[in-house]
Structure 1
Amino acid sequence: MVGLENADNASLRNPRNKRKQRPPNKPRNAKKRKPDVNHNRHAQNATNGSEIIASEPLPLEPFSFFLNEFQTANDVQVSSLELESMKDRCILGPPESSVQDDKSLVKHIKEAFGSSWKEVLCKGELLEGRTEPGSPAVLIISTSALRSIELLKGFRSITQECHAVKLFSKHMKVEEQVQLLKNRVNIASGTPSRIKKLIDIEALGLSRLAVIVLDVQPDVKGYSLFSLPQVRDEFWDLYKSYLHPRVVEGELRICLFGPLQPTRKRRKKEV
């Protein structure tokens, strides 16, 4: 009996004599966990570092993205009538190509105008009743002068007859831009504050404006047209004052150029 008792104690002390051994980090009586099928639904917000937990993938459909940005930034709710008018026809969306640069932007704009792109974007003469001076067909809105110039590079091949106009304050006076806008303008690129000022003084016209390109590409610090302080407010001031009514009326389409990344936390709105 003593020998058997010693043998049993020895088996308890020696793990190799056990038939089954509990893993060292596994709690006693722990239940088996099922694989987490939702682990891919946890996303990291690149803007503020906070974790977003969504029951479904984040919506990146262009119209929903822009509508959410507009309503959240301005603390407004688009009416059902405006929503019905805007939906499915006001947003062009980002270029299909995964590489978004000045060349892909030009291709995307050509596709937006279809077979008439040469007449609209290349011709340089004023046509009475059809083209008014200082009224571009395409307006590119960016956060800075450098970015505005960068996006115009791809348009050089189609702006030889009618040069694109730069509408920003860096190294350019308002008076100089007013003179440039006395001619036919097909493409213009600039910053929100200067664009609005030129519209205010009736130097920049909107009669031909068919497409606005909103450059939402983040800069090296992660800021974009919708998130950069001051510039963001200047843009929405411009949009609400002059562009939104034309979007609602179906006279103006929006091209979002860059990744569709929500820039701020969503707030629940009262119905």
Structure 2
Amino acid sequence: MGSGKPERHSKTKEKKGLSLRNPSKKINFKKKTGINKKTDQSKNEENQNKSEASTPASASQQLGFFINEFQSANGVQLSSIELESIKETCFVELSQESGQDVMALGSHMKAAFGPSWKQVLCEGKLVEGIIDPGSPAVLIISTSALRSLELLRGVRSLTKECHAAKLFSKHMKVEEQVAMLKNRVNFASGTPSRVKKLIDIEALGLSRLTMIVLDMHADVKGYSLFTLPQVRDEFWDLYKDFFHQRLLQGHLRICLFGPTPSANGKEFKGKKEESLMNK
């Protein structure tokens, strides 16, 4: 009886020793290490993609992207004369240093308006014959009321003396907005349908409008101003009715605020050159 116990004890030790030297454990460890390496690599790729997406597009890329979207959404082909009229200078090239976070919008607007930014964007008095009531210098267009408010946070420091106009239907009646637009407005932010309605009833004026900011950021479902079906159609109706001719005449600039696919810009450049060659 006494001699059996040590033998069982020695077998247990032997089994433990074998388990510690089990080569399969080392193989598993290598596999796990490989998975971690792949995970790190994918994370690096994601961070790189995010960095590229956050880099503001050049004026040339914005031009190409916008023209492609316009032609695709409306089923039209712009003539060579129209293409010549829409120049890169029609698009605001955003500073790469400021980024495209909402809170950087105010800095971008200052840079876009140059030395006159304070006079145009901040002052709150009407000037007869020069500053008409209800006519903003900057009109921000986005997909929803919530997003419109978020974008206004980015220019809050510029709207202390002259409050921005909120032009959307959620929790706001047309009558309230009409009353608001009887004062000086430097910034207005809203959705395409309500903006168009207020222009149609002549409450929202365009005499001072020199820039439209189009929000390119996608919502939680991945939709943006140019991809959300109903809103997209409402925007292009608004653009064709009130903005396109002003752009062709050089009276209006467009700021695409958010990720803009650069590949479309490169693709369109070739089409534009081909169109001009066949003129």
Which position in structure 1 is the counterpart of 2:4?
none
Q: Distance in 2 between matches of 1:129 and 1:84?
A: 33
Is 1:124 matched up with 2:93?
no
Q: Distance in 2 between matches of 1:95 and 1:259?
A: 14
| Alignment gaps of 5+ in structure 1 | 1-45, 47-58
Contact 2:106/2:158 (8 A) holds in 1 = no
Matches within 5 A, 1:105-116: 105-116=105-116
Q: Distance in 2 between matches of 1:178 and 1:135?
A: 12
Q: How many residues align?
A: 211
Worse overlay, 138-147 or 98-107: 98-107
Which position in structure 1 is the counterpart of 2:169?
169
One-letter identity of the residue aligned with 2:120: V
Q: Distance in 1 between matches of 2:118 and 2:79?
A: 37
Q: Distance in 2 between matches of 1:227 and 1:60?
A: 21
Which position in structure 1 is the counterpart of 2:245?
245
Contact 1:62/1:256 (8 A) holds in 2 = yes
Which position in structure 1 is the counterpart of 2:158?
158
Which position in structure 2 is the counterpart of 1:43?
none
Matches within 5 A, 1:78-97: 78-97=78-97
1:180-208 Cα offsets, whole Å, 9 max, x none, are 00000000000000000000000000000
1:145-176 Cα offsets, whole Å, 9 max, x none, are 00000010121111111000100000000000
Q: Distance in 2 between matches of 1:247 and 1:70?
A: 13
Q: Distance in 2 between matches of 1:60 and 1:224?
A: 21
Q: CA deviation at 1:96?
A: 2.1
Which position in structure 1 is the counterpart of 2:61?
61
Q: CA deviation at 1:60?
A: 7.8
Q: Distance in 1 between matches of 2:246 and 2:131?
A: 18
Q: Distance in 1 between matches of 2:160 and 2:176?
A: 20
Matches within 5 A, 1:224-243: 224-243=224-243
Q: Distance in 2 between matches of 1:229 and 1:158?
A: 33
| Alignment gaps of 5+ in structure 2 | 1-48, 50-58
What is the aligned-residue identity percentage? 67
Which position in structure 1 is the counterpart of 2:197?
197
Q: Distance in 2 between matches of 1:227 and 1:117?
A: 32
Contact 1:93/1:254 (8 A) holds in 2 = no
Worse overlay, 104-113 or 160-169: 104-113
Q: Distance in 2 between matches of 1:123 and 1:74?
A: 38
Which position in structure 2 is the counterpart of 1:72?
72
Which position in structure 1 is the counterpart of 2:149?
149
Contact 1:149/1:189 (8 A) holds in 2 = yes
Say if 1:62 and 1:176 are closer, same or farther in 2 by CA, change over 3 A.
Answer: same
Q: Distance in 2 between matches of 1:162 and 1:205?
A: 16
Q: CA deviation at 1:78?
A: 1.5
User: Quick check: which one's helix share is greater?
Assistant: 2
**SS where residue 184 of structure 1 aligns?**
coil
Q: Distance in 1 between matches of 2:221 and 2:122?
A: 36
Root-mean-square deviation (Å): 2.3
Q: Distance in 2 between matches of 1:222 and 1:60?
A: 25
Contact 2:98/2:108 (8 A) holds in 1 = no
Q: Distance in 2 between matches of 1:150 and 1:97?
A: 21
One-letter identity of the residue aligned with 1:169: S
Contact 1:211/1:252 (8 A) holds in 2 = yes
1:40-90 Cα offsets, whole Å, 9 max, x none, are xxxxxx9xxxxxxxxxxxx98111011101111111111211211111221
1:114-163 Cα offsets, whole Å, 9 max, x none, are 00000000000001111000000000000000000001012111111100
Q: Distance in 2 between matches of 1:99 and 1:88?
A: 20
One-letter identity of the residue aligned with 2:176: E
Which position in structure 1 is the counterpart of 2:260?
260
One-letter identity of the residue aligned with 1:196: K
One-letter identity of the residue aligned with 2:150: E
Contact 1:95/1:257 (8 A) holds in 2 = no
1:217-270 Cα offsets, whole Å, 9 max, x none, are 0111110000001000000000001011101110000000010138x9x9x9xx
One-letter identity of the residue aligned with 1:143: T
Which position in structure 1 is the counterpart of 2:218?
218
One-letter identity of the residue aligned with 1:180: M
**SS where residue 89 of structure 1 aligns?**
helix
